[in-house]
Structure formats: structure tokens, C-alpha cells
Amino acid sequence: MTDNANSGEQKGNAGLRKKFRLWRLARQGRVPDEIKGTPEEKLLKKKIKQNKNLKKGWGLFIEFIRRHWVRYSFGVLAIVSVNAMSIVTPIITGDIVDMLSDTAAGMESVSLKRLSMLCLVIVGLSFAKLMANFFNRYLIQGASNILEYAMRKRMFNKLIDLSISYFNRKSAGEIMALASNDLRALRHAVGHGIMMLTNALVLLGAGFIYLTVRLSLPLTLAIMIPFPFMLLLINGFSRFIQARFKRVQETFADLSSKVEENISGIRVIKSFVQEEQEIANFRKINESNYDASIKHARVMAIFHPSLSFISTMSYLIMLMAGGLMAMQGAISLGEFVAANTFIGMLIRPISFLGMLINQMQQGKVSLTRIGELIFENPDIFDGKFGTPPIESPGRLSGRIEFNNLRFKYPEKDGYILDGINTAIAPGTTVALVGEVGSGKTTFANLLMRIFDIEEKGMITIDGHDITDIPLKALRDNIGYVPQDNFLFSESIAYNIGFSEEGYPMEEIENAARKSNVYGNIMEFPEKFDTMLGEKGVNLSGGQKQRICIARALIKDAPILILDDCLSSVDVETEKEILANLRDVRAGRTCIIISHRVSTIKDADKIIVLENSRIAEEGSHDQLVALGGIYDKMYRMQLIDEIEINGGGAL
């Protein structure tokens, strides 16, 4: 809500006023009509959302403390006892000193036994303090570790349920920054925050007890004149600290995002000798992180000294006013000295308070940033269109109907699919063809609800609206080979048997056979236990693709979607896989996307997508007879073949 403080100081007065108004509106959480449609509206909405997230974040935090209240109570108790012992030990020492000084003056003689006793008490107390201190750290900081853990867990659990559209907006590096850097800031704020808060309260309490016993009212009031100024200072600074710390965290996330991308794309960078340019790009981001740190450093560097400057003013007042009063006999010398001690006692907790405020601001920033992820809602979930999902749909038969399906990607103009009307009979194989970017993958995305249709009724499976089928059941019923063959850095067996239950080795091997990758795998020294690098970097393109096919086949789902899954395999292998697929396809609804006629010729129905619509539809022979787009495509590949074969025959 105050992240505008930074830019606010640079702009004119009018800008400042506008910002302030925006800030106030954001606090009230309403968007007045007059700014509807202006860029301010967007800004305001964002801010309102941030405020909401922060509030929810606070809720989480309070909830956490409530859940761990026993731990926290004991922790706070431990801090209090540490403080108490820190006060008691000097008193005992003081007693001994008094005794010794009396002894030295010859007034009385302390027995060696008593002296030894007291010395042992001091050591004993320090042991007790060790225990208390240990528990304090263990309980309070341990709790903040748990908080960090719990938040990270929550973050990931949310992340993994978020729809893919979220990951189109947010980069992996940014999310990594949240999970490491921001959570760390939050942990520090919570761990140290509570410790400092308790310390400050205890010490302030002790100070005030001392005050009521030893000091007169007017002097006390005089000494406390600077305190309100301190509050003002803290209040004023906290906005700056917040805004600037936010910048630091943001630029760090940029950095992380850049590095993550750079390393992931290092093969391209090296192939195209872009290292120097990348270094230059990185440097820019690195520098902006540096600039943000410097700006942050500046407020931080001025904050603490100013705070102690104001608190020193208490001394000054005491020195001047108290001194004069004492000279005139208005107060006693003892009272003057006592006031001195009193201020000394207050200075430390006040500096704690300063640190506390600072930590809190940083924690708040991080909490808001984390909240943006934790309180994000998935776009796709059961019961999204108001109707409850049907119970246990079981194994679907795979009759799919499209009724006037239209779709556009969120935040993009233009319909990718528009007015799609067709039906896929259960157990048949349908092929999707079309130019690059004609919407074939989109089709598959919609069927799996990776993206969601606009209205109910556009896609039905077995007569159920697709949004009425529970998401998990729907996806359980679909075997899918993605176009970009993604594999995890685990063993090959893990990647093929990729499911919660896992599969017996036989089935894994079987699936590998069907997808014709078994032979390859067996040639690796570690066979199915071969560990893959990230994204399967240590496999060839065709090997990756066939492992992805195996991963889909093993599922034995009634609906199978193969998205251009033979693009990287040689013709011989393709042929063999197709033959294997013929068995697999029996009794299954199969949707094959491909650019190669050879892959799809046998399909029961071929759908040609063009200009967001179905341009042609029918069997291979029908479409060839039609003499349209498909026929042209077929001929194009046929001509090649004749040319080659002709050439070869001659």
C-alpha cells in the first residue's frame, strides 16, 4: 500500500496527492466510478488485492501463532526469565562488591564460605540462564523455522494446483526467489521479531517499575518528551523501508528469473555465442538490484542513528532541566542520578523497537509477495460453473462431443477455436491436422482442462459436460503424450511409470516395448534404472519422445491423446510404433495430432483445422476425394515420395 513512497518523493506535489488518494482508496478497498477505465483503476485494483493478501497473510500468521501457542508461551517465558536473570546476576555481584568493600574498610568480615557460596550462585545462575536461553532460541526460532517450512509447503501445494495459465505469467526464477529469499525474510521477521518485542516489553516494563519507585512526575514527563517524536519517526520511516525493501526483493526475483532462464537456455546461448550479451544483460539486472540495495541502505543507515539521536535528547533534557532543578534543590541529586539510570534502561529497548519495526516492515513486504502466490486461485477446479461434479464417473467410454466450441486464451485477443462442432465416437481414432498454430494442441488442452472452455456444454464426454466430470477422474481417463517431451530427472522406470500408484516392472517394460524404446533402454548400462538429467538431456530426441509415449500407454486410459508424438523418430520406428498402436487403439478413443500423412492415414476420421474452424472432416479416402486442403497436403508428401522412389528406381 505504500510502495508508492519511493516514486512519490520524486514527483511533484500533485502526483503525491494523487498517490495519497489512491492509497486511501486502496485502504477503503473501493473503486470509485470516476476512475473506471483509467490506468489508475488497474493500479488501484492491484493495491486492493495486495492489501487483501496482506490481511489474509496476517490471518495465516495469527493462526499459526494460535496453533503453536504453547510453544510460544513457553518461549516468551524463557525470554522473560533470561531477562530476569540478567537483572538478578548484577544485583548479586553488587552485593558481593558491597560486602567486599565493607570488608576492605574493616567494617565487617565476610566469611570465605559465604563468598564461595555466592560465587557458586553466580555460576549456577549462568547455567540456569543457559537453559532458559537455549529454550528461548529453540522454541521461538524453532517456531519460525516451522513457519518457514509450513509457508513453503503451502506455497508449493498451491503452486501445483494452479492452472497452467499462471505459469505462463510467472517465471520459475521468480517463484524460486519467493521460496528462498522472501521466506527467509519472513522467518527472520517472525523469529527475531517476537524475541525483540518481548525483550523490549520486559525492559520497558522494568524501566517503568523503576520509574514509579524513584522518580517524580514532572521530570518523568519531561524526559518522555522525545518519545512521541520517536513514534512519528518510526511511522514515517516504515513506509520508506517497506517501499525500498520491496524493490530489493523484486530486483532479486528478477535476478533469479534471469539466471534461471540463462542456465536453462545455455545450449542456445553457447551455440549462438551470446555469452557476452547475456553477461551485459545480467549486469543490468544486477546493477538494478545494487541500486535498490543502496537506496535501502540509505534509509536503513539513517533510521537507526536518527532513532538513537532522538532518544539521546532525553538525556539532554535531563541534563539541562534536571541539572538546573537539582541545583536549585527542586529535585535531589539522587533523583537526578536515578533519572540517568532510567534513561539508560529505556534506550536499549527502544533500539530493539527500532529493529523490530524494521524487521516487521521487511516481513510485511515478503508476506505480501508470498501472499500473491498463496492466495492466488486456480482458474480450473471442480464445480467451477456452479454445478457440483458428478460422482464417480468411473471409466469413461470416450464419446466426445463438441458443441459450438469456441475458445480464446486468457488475456489474448482472437478466438483460436471458433464454432467447432463435431463428435468422436467411442473407440475410434480421430486425427487432427492443420497448419502450425492452428489450434491442435489447444484442442488437447481443452480436453484435459489444462485450459478451460468458456461456457458449459461446449464439450461433453459420455454425455457429461466436461466441467461436471471431476478433474482428477477426467485426467485419469486420458493418456497424454505432450508435444514437448518433458521428462523428470529421475530413473527411466520412474518416468514411464509416472503415477501415484506406480506400476510393476513388467508393465513398465511392456509399455517400453509398445513404444519401441525397450531396445534402446536395454542398451544403456543401467537399463531402466538409468538416471536422466533435467528434461532428459542425456537422451536423444527420439528416445525422449518414445519414453513419453510409453508413459501415456501404461496408463491404459480410454482416451488417448498423442500430440505430434512421432515427429522425432525415424520412419522405421514410426512404422513399428504405429503397428503397436493399432492394437492399443482397439477399444479406445484416440486422438492423434500430426503433420505427417503417414501417421494418420488409418484414422477413422481426420479433422482438418483451419482459421479456427473445422475445414474438412472425413476419412482419408473421403478427404482425398474431396480434393481440398488435406488432399493438397497428401499430394505434397506423395510427390516427394514419387520423386524419391522414382529417383531410386531409375
Partner 1 sequence: MSGPGMGRGGSRSLDQVSVEEKKKMDRKALRNLLKYALPFWPKFLLALMLVLMLTGAELLRPYILGLAIDDIAFTLDNPAGILDNKSRIILMGAAFFGLALAQLVIGYFSAFILRATSARIIMNLRDKVFTHVQRLHFPYFDKTPVGSLVTRICNDTNNISEMYTNVLVNFFRDIFEIIGVIIVMFMINTRLALAVMVVVPLMAAATIMFRLKARKVFTRIRAKLAAINIFLSEHIAGMKIIQAFNMQNAKKEEFDTVNHEYLRENDKMIVIFGVFRPFMEIVAAIATALILWIGGKGILESAISFGTVYMFLNYSGKFFQPIMNLTEMYNTTQSSLVSSDRIESLLKTGTEENPGDYQELGEIRGEIEFRNVWFAYVGENWVLRDVSFTVRPGEKIAIVGTTGAGKTTIISLILGFYKIQKGEIFVDGKPISKINIRELRKAVGTVRQDVFLFQGDIETNIRLYNDIDFELVKKAAETVNASKFIENLPLKYKEPVNQRGTTLSEGQRQLLSFARAIVMDPRILVLDEATSSVDARTEQLIQEGLENLMEGRTSITIAHRLSTIKNADRILFLHHGRIAESGSHTELMELRKLYYELYSIQYS
Give me the residues that bind ligand ATP (CB under 6 A), please. 168, 409, 412, 416, 434, 436-442, 483, 537-543, 568
Per the listing, cell 505430434 goes with 564
- Give the count of residues interacting with partner 1 (CB under 8 A): 189
> Of 535, 580, 617, 619, which lies in the binding site for partner 1, with binding defined by CB under 8 A?
535
Which neighbouring-strand residues pair with 405?
420
Positive/negative CA dihedral, 592, 598, 604, 606:
positive
CB 136, CB 192: distance < 8 Å: no
Binding flag, residue 526, partner 1 (CB under 8 A): yes
CB 395, CB 225: distance < 8 Å: no
Shortest Cβ 152–partner 1 spacing (Å): 5
Binding flag, residue 574, partner 1 (CB under 8 A): yes
Residues between 336 and 395 with contacts to partner 1, criterion CB under 8 A: 336-337, 340
From the list Mg ion, ligand ATP, partner 1, none, pick the one residue 393 interacts with, judged by a Cβ distance below 5 to 8 Å according to partner type.
none
Which neighbouring-strand residues pair with 422?
402
Residues between 19 and 48 with contacts to partner 1, criterion CB under 8 A: none
All cell numbers assigned to 384: 467451477
Per the listing, cell 473421403 goes with 622
DSSP 428: -
Which neighbouring-strand residues pair with 400?
424, 461
Binding flag, residue 650, partner 1 (CB under 8 A): yes
Shortest Cβ 516–partner 1 spacing (Å): 9
Binding flag, residue 580, partner 1 (CB under 8 A): no
Beta strands across the sheet bearing 400-407: 417-424, 400-407, 459-461, 464-465
Residue nearest to Mg ion (CB): 441
> Of 205, 228, 533, 541, which lies in the binding site for Mg ion, with binding defined by CB under 5 A?
541
Stretch that binds partner 1, among 130-138, 363-371, 384-392, 503-511 (CB under 8 A): 130-138
Q: Pick between residue 173 and residue 434 the one whose CB is nearest to Mg ion.
A: 434
Residue nearest to ligand ATP (CB): 542
CB 395, CB 587: distance < 8 Å: no
Shortest Cβ 177–partner 1 spacing (Å): 7
Backbone region of residue 392 per phi and psi (left: phi > 0; alpha: psi in -120 to 50; beta: other values): left
Q: Pick between residue 16 and residue 110 the one whose CB is nearest to partner 1.
A: 110
> Of 28, 38, 145, 622, which lies in the binding site for partner 1, with binding defined by CB under 8 A?
145
> Of 62, 87, 232, 333, which lies in the binding site for partner 1, with binding defined by CB under 8 A?
333
Binding flag, residue 189, partner 1 (CB under 8 A): no
CB 594, CB 566: distance < 8 Å: yes
Write the interaction track for partner 1 spanning residues 419-448; mark x where CB under 8 A is met and - where it is not. Answer: --------------xxxxx---x------x
Binding flag, residue 176, partner 1 (CB under 8 A): yes
Shortest Cβ 578–ligand ATP spacing (Å): 17
> Of 371, 482, 508, 591, which lies in the binding site for partner 1, with binding defined by CB under 8 A?
482
Shortest Cβ 208–partner 1 spacing (Å): 22
Residues between 227 and 266 with contacts to partner 1, criterion CB under 8 A: 252, 255-257, 259-266
Q: What are phi and psi of 216, to 5 degrees?
A: -90, 155
DSSP 535: G
Binding flag, residue 9, partner 1 (CB under 8 A): no
3-state SS string for 188-219: HHHHHHHHHHHHHHHHHHHHHHHHHHHCCHHH
Binding flag, residue 480, partner 1 (CB under 8 A): yes
From the list ligand ATP, Mg ion, partner 1, none, pick the one residue 364 interacts with, judged by a Cβ distance below 5 to 8 Å according to partner type.
none
Q: What are phi and psi of 429, to 5 degrees?
A: -110, 125
The residues near 622 (Cβ < 8 Å, ≥ 6 apart) are none
Query: H or E stretch including 74?
Result: helix 69-104
What is the rounded CA–CA span in Å between residue 126 and residue 521? 65
All cell numbers assigned to 611: 482459421
> Of 70, 107, 160, 213, which lies in the binding site for partner 1, with binding defined by CB under 8 A?
160
Positive/negative CA dihedral, 186, 192, 197, 200:
negative
CB 259, CB 282: distance < 8 Å: yes
Cα 493–Cα 498–Cα 503 angle in degrees, nearest 5: 70
What is the rounded CA–CA span in Å between residue 546 and residue 481? 9
Per the listing, cell 516468551 goes with 76
Shortest Cβ 567–ligand ATP spacing (Å): 9
Write the interaction track for partner 1 spanning residues 538-567; mark x where CB under 8 A is met and - where it is not. Answer: xxxxxx--x----x---x--------x--x
From the list ligand ATP, Mg ion, partner 1, none, pick the one residue 107 interacts with, judged by a Cβ distance below 5 to 8 Å according to partner type.
none
Shortest Cβ 598–Mg ion spacing (Å): 18
Residues at the interface with Mg ion (CB under 5 A): 441, 483, 540-541
